[in-house]
Amino acid sequence: MNSSASVKIQTAFRLDAILLERLKRQAKSINRSLNSYVETILFNAAERELPRMPEGFEISEEIKELCGFIELETPTREELEKDPKLERIWHKYLTE
């Protein structure tokens, strides 16, 4: 993150009160401003690569049967950016 070359735009978010207090405490504990701390968290989250299985990786038929496996194709970054609901579901349930 190169903050010296970046353009800053003021914005507003609604946050859960407990979350906001937790963020404030965490920022204070490392001597950072709330803004700087939250910006760093968001940059890190936005830059994470989507996990992908190694090319050629296959799950055995036996494991698929045992797990009731449903094969899903990994969505592209563009597909996730176009569909916020898919992105939330993908990150919440399929990448943990």
What per-residue confidence (pLDDT) applies to 55? 76
Is the domain of 18 the same as that of 44?
A: yes
Residues 64 and 90 in one domain: yes
In the prediction, which pLDDT does 35 show? Answer: 94
Note whether 44 and 69 are same-domain residues.
no
Residue 28 lies in a domain: yes
The domain in which residue 18 lies consists of 13-48
| Whether pLDDT at 71 is above 70 | no
How far apart are alpha carbons 96 and 35 in whole angstroms? 27
pLDDT value of position 89: 76
CA pair distance 32, 22, nearest whole angstrom:
13
Q: Give, as one character, the DSSP assignment of residue 12.
A: -
Structural domains in the chain (count):
2
Distance CA(11)–CA(26), nearest Å, equals 21
In the prediction, which pLDDT does 33 show? 95
- Report yes or no on 7 lying in a domain: no
**Which of 8, 35, 14, 10 is CA-nearest to residue 24?**
35
Does residue 94 belong to any structural domain of this protein?
yes
Domain-embedded: residue 2: no
Least confident stretch, 33-37, 47-51, 88-92: 47-51
Write out pLDDT tens, residues 39-68: 999 888 877 766 666 777 777 777 777 776
**pLDDT-based confidence at 87, cuts 50/70/90?**
confident
In a domain, 54, yes or no: no
Residue 53 lies in a domain: no
